[in-house]
Amino acid sequence: MAQDSYADIAKMYAERVVAGEILACKWVKAACKRQLNDLKRFKGKSSPYQFNPKLTSKSGKSYYPADNLCAFIERLPHVKGPLAGEPITLEPWQVFILATVFGWVKADGTRRFRRSYIEVPRGNAKSTLSSAVGLYMLAADGEGGAEVYSLATTRDQARIVFGDAQTMARRSPGFRNRFSVNVGAHNMNVMASGSKFEALSAEGSTLDGLNIHFGCVDELHAHKTRTVYDVVETGTGKRDNSLLWVITTAGSNRAGICYEVRSFVTKLLDEVFEDDTQFGIIYGLDDGDDWTTEESLIKANPNWGISVRSEVLGPLQAKAMQLPSAVNNFKTKHLNEWVNADTAWMDMRSWDACTEHGIFIEQFEGQPCWIGLDLASKTDIAALVAVFRHPEISDAYVTFGKYYLPEDTVNGAGNSQYGGWMHSGRLIVTPGNVIDFGWIESDLLDMATRYEIQAVAFDPFQATQLSTRMLAEGLPMIEVRPTVLNFSEPMKTLEALVLQKKLIHDGDPVLTWMASNVVAHLDVKDNIYPRKERAENKIDGIVALIMALSRAIKPGDSVVLGSDYELMVL
């Protein structure tokens, strides 16, 4: 590619995606539309940003930022596979990402984008791209004392990007000589500028106090906590031209930091949020796409025919079509779909399709309301879920949730999103090390003044005293023991409602996470009941929703208080 053509190639890629000439999902189209709109929106000297203008380096040389980076990378070699040793040739989708992230600058020449989130399936040269960008930020970005890091939760993961960059540098004498780069076993540095490139992990490194110019977080979906991401985000805030670079495949942990960042990016691309400093693009499929076709493979994998080939992915797809246990792994790794546990119950695409962000519980004042209450343990999450009839859709329901957790559990939890849910008001934190049920009782009594409560379905475990007090206050408390007989039909009904888009929610991230955690156990009589695979995979909100629906759908039926069925292990 000619050096002066990269910005044009990026624009052409965006135009072809938007026009439908290149097969792409809604998020890629949205990212391309955003760039094209920005090119129209940010024009003239009064604009806060300019795209790929002529800049002058500290040495007095003129350059165009997008073209400079892309040309730099195409002088580096591939280090793996059949192309190892050959110069990198950037594909149009890669040029689009690089030109967009690095091409937009402010009046002082510093970059507009401070954070970048790229989600793409395995095999699409993620590490190669990140390694090359890391070398540019080390040696060619003009930053004095640049601190460049490949960061991960484990040493091995952190060394993947650093190791590839190290090999690139060793095989590029022209690069080393031009920028006076020294390549060591655990470090690369430029003595003249005091810059360095290292791999750091949460296992053995001290991550606090970093002054980061470029922080590359590889495979963020594998991070069980938000520690590394938060350290990088804080560390890059100390410089004027730093960049937090996240590149990852999809995962399964919807309570993790990766899904949190992804959710922010999707809202940004949907124009729900505004943030001119965040870049994001997500490659994958759209709702309703048939994952068993070659067209889906092409759509989800932008490097199709280059590093991702039909002769490799085709047999894996065929295997997944015949072996149910391989489906979710294939969808996650090769179609970039966020899936739940291997035996997960809820179709999360259908669940997400039931979201209506403009719906609020206050709109249902005076309406009939059914409540499910799962108190489980006093040291863990308690859930209160309300169900209303949909005002416009026949046989449809709307649900809202409240969740309670003791303060000590939040502080010691492995769930990285508890804090965020607390600050957003989704999670109510009670002081101390056990839940104060008084908060729940207060909310129930308040709801009784606002809505026509038809029933409060509750599991008697941990709830005897609360139910006695609420009965004395006049609330219709209905005991629902967690048996297969009590849960099987309502659970099947819930699933059917979701598939028909007749169970509407407001995008509640807590309930969404819990829905993704539910594993359906099927007995010999085809009864199902909810379980979870691990203790940290909470499902209390879904249990409460099932109980509420059991009363809303068949409010006159008697509830089985005891039976020969086993109690469910939740």
Query: CB under 8 Å, gap of 24 or more: what pairs does 318-327 form?
Result: 321/292
Q: What are the domain boundaries of the chain?
A: 3-282, 351-553
| N residues, the chain | 570
- In the numeric block, which tokens belong to residue 6? 């990269």
Q: What is the CA radius of gyration of the chain?
A: 26
> Could you state, in chain order, the average pLDDT of each consecutive group of 10 residues for the chain (570 residues)?
75 98 98 98 90 91 95 95 92 98 96 98 95 97 96 90 96 95 94 95 74 95 90 92 96 89 94 94 95 97 95 92 80 90 74 93 97 82 96 94 88 72 89 87 95 92 83 92 86 91 95 90 73 83 95 60 34
Rounded distance between C-alpha atoms, residue 405 and residue 379, angstroms: 7
Q: CA 156, CA 362: separation in Å to the nearest integer?
A: 50
446 CB-contact burial (10 Å; exposed 0-12 / middle 13-18 / buried 19+): exposed
**pLDDT value at residue 103:** 97
Q: Count other Cβ atoms within 10 Å, centred on residue 401.
A: 25
Positive or negative: CA dihedral 364, 365, 366, 368 = positive
For 336, left (φ over 0), alpha (ψ -120 to 50), or beta?
left
How far is 389 from 294, CA to CA, in rounded Å? 41
**Which pLDDT score, from 0 to 100, does residue 414 have?**
59
Q: What confidence score (pLDDT) does residue 569 get? A: 36
Q: What is the pLDDT of residue 564?
A: 31
The class (CATH top level) of 3-282 is: alpha beta
The predicted structure's pLDDT at residue 375? 86
461: left (phi over 0), alpha (psi -120 to 50) or beta: beta
**Nearest CA-CA partner of 239 in 331, 141, 308, 313:** 141
Q: Which fold has domain 351-553?
A: Nucleotidyltransferase; domain 5 (3.30.420)
